[in-house]
Homo-oligomer: A and B are copies of this chain.
Amino acid sequence: MKDFNDLADFSNDEIAVLLELAGRLDAHPEPVALRGKVLSLLFLSPSLRTLASFQAAMTRLGGGSFVISPEMSIHGLEARPGIVMDGAAAEHIREAIPVIASYGDAIGIRAFAERKNLEHDLAETEFSAMTDLIDTPYINMESAMGHPCQNLADWKTLDDFDIPANNGKFVLSWAYHPKALPLAVPSSTLFMAAKRGMDVTVLRPEGFQLPAPVMQKAIFAAEESGGSVRETNDRTEAMEGAHVIYAKSWSSTAHYGDKLGDQKLRENLIDWRVDDPWFDNARDDCRFMHCLPVRRGVVVSEPVLDGPRSIVIPEARNRMLAQMAVLHQMLGGAS
């Protein structure tokens, strides 16, 4: 494996191999597999699970990592191309990223979407500008539209809880949140579930459709794997027979980059909080997933989040295991 940027770069068979490896590394630790190996971790956006799970993953495999983020006592970083740097920032990412990468055997980069221009973000303009600077293998730790580590962990979680691939019903539901959040998780989660062969329903209010290219990419994946993709704003219809609901808030694509417009649309949608009645016509054992962090009582009710449907903690733990598999394949000599 060179880079880990998008599940779309891997066949379902290759994903199965990664997940089998993840399970094996959990059951049978390999504490010297990556000894002396270094993972550089660059966080240009906040993190908890990613920050913790990558450090833990490298330690479990016998290697190590270091973290750089702008909140640390480093020189301010500039990202704009062609700028005369006479302001506050003392270093440009054009130097910082190749240098940080040069200290590691691989680099993980997190950089959320700017959310000013949808085409710009869909094209991963910023993230590509960064990865173009380096030859080192890299891992996408969440870009404008992608979060492949979350996707791989979620796939594993669906497997772990015996949620069927073909004929498994996956509901990706928008949920209320006071802020306009990025599209990376919903877009890449939709793709993951479709690629896994599931029947995916995007449940969202009007104005919160996912972008057409995102839907199209998922539809193609579903066609190949025997799944399906549809969208609706009708909760009852969406939840009918569902195996799993994956809740996530995201920005209005109709008002992308327009905070006020998004806010206006959003403020009438406070009732989009996942709650017990949502499950009335779902399967009895319908599961609740969320990538975390999640706002209790806002995105989801406490009874659902703390109840037996919720698998958010094992889902989060799978972040570490999925990433161990990726790192093992990427850096592990013989494999």
- Distance to closest chain B CB from A315 (angstroms): 9
Cβ B91 vs Cβ A293 within 8 A: yes
| Assembled-state Cα–Cα distance A55/B103 (Å) | 9
> A20 at interface (Cβ–Cβ under 8 A)?
no
Which residues of chain A from 59 to 78 have a CB within 8 Å of any chain B CB? Answer: 59-66, 68-75, 78
| Assembled-state Cα–Cα distance A47/B90 (Å) | 11
| Assembled-state Cα–Cα distance A91/B51 (Å) | 15
> A137 at interface (Cβ–Cβ under 8 A)?
no
Q: Give the residues in chain B near A82, CB-CB below 8 Å.
A: 302
Cβ B68 vs Cβ A56 within 8 A: no
| Assembled-state Cα–Cα distance A68/B72 (Å) | 11
Contact of A35 among B62, B297, B317 (CB under 8 A): B62
| Assembled-state Cα–Cα distance A312/B102 (Å) | 12
Contact of A62 among B36, B86, B293 (CB under 8 A): B36
Q: Name A70's closest neighbour in chain B (CB-CB).
A: B73
Q: Give the residues in chain B near A178, CB-CB below 8 Å.
A: 86
Q: Give the residues in chain B near A36, CB-CB below 8 Å.
A: 29-32, 59-62
Cβ B48 vs Cβ A59 within 8 A: no
Cβ A294 vs Cβ B59 within 8 A: no
Cβ A298 vs Cβ B103 within 8 A: no
Q: Give the residues in chain B near A46, CB-CB below 8 Å.
A: 73-75
> A120 at interface (Cβ–Cβ under 8 A)?
no
| Assembled-state Cα–Cα distance A243/B86 (Å) | 29
> A316 at interface (Cβ–Cβ under 8 A)?
yes
Cβ B103 vs Cβ A53 within 8 A: yes
Cβ A56 vs Cβ B52 within 8 A: no
Q: Give the residues in chain B near A66, CB-CB below 8 Å.
A: 51-52, 55-56, 59
Copies of this chain, complex-wide, total 3
Cβ B99 vs Cβ A49 within 8 A: yes
Contact of A95 among B32, B86, B313 (CB under 8 A): B313
Chain A: interface size category: 35 or more
> A100 at interface (Cβ–Cβ under 8 A)?
yes
Which residues of chain A from 294 to 335 have a CB within 8 Å of any chain B CB? Answer: 294-298, 302, 306, 312-314, 316-317, 320
| Assembled-state Cα–Cα distance A60/B297 (Å) | 44
Q: Name A65's closest neighbour in chain B (CB-CB).
A: B59
Q: Name A48's closest neighbour in chain B (CB-CB).
A: B74
Q: Give the residues in chain B near A302, CB-CB below 8 Å.
A: 82
- Distance to closest chain B CB from A9 (angstroms): 26
- Distance to closest chain B CB from A264 (angstroms): 17
| Assembled-state Cα–Cα distance A322/B98 (Å) | 18
> A138 at interface (Cβ–Cβ under 8 A)?
no
| Assembled-state Cα–Cα distance A302/B85 (Å) | 11
